[in-house]
Structure 1
Amino acid sequence: MLKKNQPLNRPLAQNKKANHDYNILTTFEAGMVLTGTEIKSVRARRVNLKDGFAQIRNGEVWLMNVHISPYDQGNQFNHDPLRNRKLLLHKKEILRLGNQLNDKGVTLIPLKIYLKHGFAKVLLGVAKGKHEYDKRETIKRRDQQRQIQRVLKNYG
């Protein structure tokens, strides 16, 4: 049950390495087709997005390699933890995604999973991989911003 002061889109799972390893070009929100025990595991925050990605097959978007742990009380109704899950997007969004994925080095990765009005949603990012020197540059820029904020805080 959601309490009054909790945000609606509080992430249940996040891909923290995504912003480090990729440049996120655009994002899309998609619904997930889950079984009964899967949604219970998602609500219990037993999801790992680390190696996940999405693909477009036959005009449908599929979420691959995302690990949703089996539900503890699921017994015979439990699911395969690494099964492919269908994502729900409008046809125009799928076509737009397909056009963006045609570029070389561009992939579709899950950024976070959250609940919205009781339904599990996944935030997909159209991403381009970073080189090692890009990652170092990002870290350097972040450290510089922290130092600037510290200095401004001391004078403010």
Structure 2
Amino acid sequence: MSDGVKILAQNRKAKHNFFIEETYEAGIELKGTEVKSIRAGKVNLGEGFASIDNGEVFLKQVHVSPYEQGNIFNVDPLRTRKLLLHKHEIRKLIGAVKEKGYSLIPLSMYLKRGKVKVSIALAKGKKLYDKRETIAKRDAQRRIQRELTGKY
């Protein structure tokens, strides 16, 4: 990507399991060895989600593997990490999350100008029939593309 952005981890299942309404870029509060581990790409966003407690946004259930050379400085891999957002963004998210069915999920973690950032999405869960419909559309599009290019 441009602007000095390097993607470190992505939540590939997010677009399959959720309807993405809005995305936000947030900084993340990390300890020293966590940064080194994340830079090495040892992070898993699969089960992660964000919650709002006392006007602050926290990232939970995101696994950051312990840094191999970190010894005593390593922290709990599944610890809760604070997300850094503007106050007006947090207020907007509080209102949206109170609505039924909306949740905050991490889409990707990346480096931007040397800082670790998280892209979080305001999302609504898909039902099983919505997932099937998405798969059917994608397969139909793939078939059409194959016919147009002449590959079988």
The answer to whether TM tops 0.5 is yes
Cα distance change on mapping 1:149 and 1:10 into 2, 3 Å: farther
My pick for the range that moved more, 94-103 or 83-92, is 94-103
- Misfit runs of 4+, over 4 Å: none
Name the CA distance, whole Å, in 1 between partners of 2:88 and 2:77. Answer: 30
Following superposition, the deviation at residue 146 of structure 1 comes to 1.2
Name the CA distance, whole Å, in 1 between partners of 2:48 and 2:24. Answer: 15
Q: Secondary structure at the match of 1:124?
A: strand
2:18 to 9, 19, 22: 22
Question: Which position in structure 1 is the counterpart of 2:9?
Answer: 13
Following superposition, the deviation at residue 145 of structure 1 comes to 1.1
Are 1:104 and 2:103 an aligned pair? no
Name the CA distance, whole Å, in 2 between partners of 1:152 and 1:9. Answer: 35
TM-score normalised per structure 2: 0.94
Question: Which position in structure 2 is the counterpart of 1:50?
Answer: 46
1:127 to 107, 111, 123: 123
TM-score normalised per structure 1: 0.92
Q: How does 1:57-136 map to 2 (within 5 A)?
A: 57-136=53-132
Name the CA distance, whole Å, in 1 between partners of 2:31 and 2:145. Answer: 46
Structure 2: gaps of 5 or more residues: none
Q: Secondary structure at the match of 1:10?
A: strand
Name the CA distance, whole Å, in 1 between partners of 2:49 and 2:117. Answer: 15
Following superposition, the deviation at residue 10 of structure 1 comes to 3.0
Question: Which position in structure 1 is the counterpart of 2:146?
Answer: 150
Q: Secondary structure at the match of 2:89?
A: helix
Aligned length: 150
